[in-house]
Amino acid sequence: MYRYSRWAWQLNRRHSGRKLLLGFPFPYSTSTPPENEEPASPGPPPIRVSITESAGRGVFATRRIGSGDLIHTAKPVVSYPSLSSIRSVCYFCLRKLKPVTASEGCDVRFCSQECEEQAKVFLEVESKADWSAFDDYCRTRGLKYPLLVKRLACMVASGGASADCLDILQPENLSSNMISEMGEGFSLLQSAFTKAKARDDHMACILVILSPSSKFFPILLVLHLALSRNDTFFDTSIVLTEQWYINMLARFRINSFRIELAGGGSYEDLHSLALASVETEAAVGNAVYMLPSFYNHDCDPNAHIIWMDSVNARLKALREIEAGEELRICYIDASMDRDARQTILFQGFGFRCSCPRCSSSGD
């Protein structure tokens, strides 16, 4: 039986037949759940991450998990609202907000002072640049992943994240044409940073360094001298290049989740709430998580990821799961027929599914 993963790459060959147990240095939570949900057990979630026989890394139960149990929660490493939702959701946690009129102004809004405070990890840098050209580029082409790169670049520039924080995630194999098309996005990102006025130490850190062949290459020396005197907001060993931009897009393309809020409803019929597609409009935003990215795909999953009222994710069991059993989620709309599922999985994730449901002639 084959199940495919965002993690299925060369590690599978190198660790064939060998299991790897990972700890949980990932942002998960055991905070009090909503009233209609059973509280999670204290401590680490009842799962381990190991190398599978055919699909790279996977998530396995360390004990029996009951149907409907909360397995764990997860906070995103990076997230960004869809451009159509920016004025209607919290700019940090993507929680839906009350509508405002155009006359009320305010480009971005927050649901609480706590979110506004946490947003400083990227907003103090982001607010100093003019992103109109970059955002228009994403809007007219229906692109969402460059917005995640933009957010991460601002986090790196402010010292809130390291440039290699997502290197552990599997990248998509990009064609030469895809890489070529990404050049325009990088140029616009670079331009937004470069044109921003360097009025404080933050702005001295956010200029994206160009390739040595660029006419702006002298900036490299100037910035390294400036950054070496102040490493509060930036790791001077990290240089944000076009290759970094492409590498991040390659990871976001197959590791990001569309955030569709359930609106505070019940957990009844969790499978129906799992419906997802590759379209952008229905989502309030997109996010990348660490631990949930280890979950392999199955068109008949035993687990489900859900967002009740914010970007913080909850992983729930759809049925009883025995100790040692692999936990799997469905990356797409499980209600579609086999041909539709195969097409979307291949176009969106680069594989053709051979799970039992897809292999069954009766589907």
Q: How far apart are CA 171 and CA 250, in angstroms?
A: 5
pLDDT for the residue 208: 44
42-46, 110-114, 329-333, 352-356: range with lowest mean pLDDT = 42-46
38-42, 155-159, 248-252, 265-269: range with lowest mean pLDDT = 265-269
More confident residue, 314 or 344: 314
The encoded tokens of residue 303 equal: 């687990």
pLDDT for the residue 107: 81
Say if residue 292's pLDDT is above 50. yes
Say if residue 264's pLDDT is above 90. no
> Of 41, 88, 92, 32, whose CA–CA distance to 62 is shortest?
41
Percent of the chain with pLDDT strictly greater than 70 = 68
Q: What is the mean pLDDT of residues 26-43?
A: 49
> Of 131, 84, 88, 128, whose CA–CA distance to 108 is shortest?
88
In the structure, what pLDDT confidence band is assigned to residue 213 with cuts at 50, 70 and 90? low
Say if residue 207's pLDDT is above 50. no
**What pTM was estimated for this model as a whole?**
0.75
Say if residue 144's pLDDT is above 50. yes
